[in-house]
Structure 1
């Protein structure tokens, strides 16, 4: 039986260890940030120059200035850093 997308996100998130820096590419990888186990602190980088990306925002809390490389609205953690180049 094939895994659902949600199962893939969950399995992937469980592989991430506390303190890692992880680059999330466009597509399915962007969903992994929503499945990180409690107590595990991972710093996510969005491919468009944001280090410290948080999970997707709740409905009504979107900030159109915070997007990932796939143009989806995201949140930022308190220690976020933006860079270009």
Structure 2
């Protein structure tokens, strides 16, 4: 049996597909934070980060970053 290694983005996209609607998900640091970029817009999923921030989303577009956040 042969397996193809997935990229970090491919792994994050695959994990995002498994999160059910209405879920509260605690994302750690590193790879798990990429998952927010792949969540579908038609699901209500609440993300919680390790530092206690609740209800954040994907990273901002280039040029729209806020260094104060």
Q: TM-score category by the smaller chain?
A: 0.7 to 0.9
Give CA-to-partner distance per residue, 1:4-49, whole Å, 9 cap, x none.
1121011100000110011110100000000012311211011112
More RCO (CA 8 Å, sep 6+): 2
Which structure has the larger Rg?
2
- Alignment RMSD, CA only? 1.0
Bigger share in strand: 1
Q: Which blocks of at least 5 consecutive residues in structure 2 are unaligned?
A: none
Runs of 4+ in 1 over 6 A off after TM superposition: none
Matches within 5 A, 1:3-82: 3-66=6-69
Aligned residues: 66
* Partner Cα separation in structure 2 for residue 29 and residue 2 of structure 1: 18
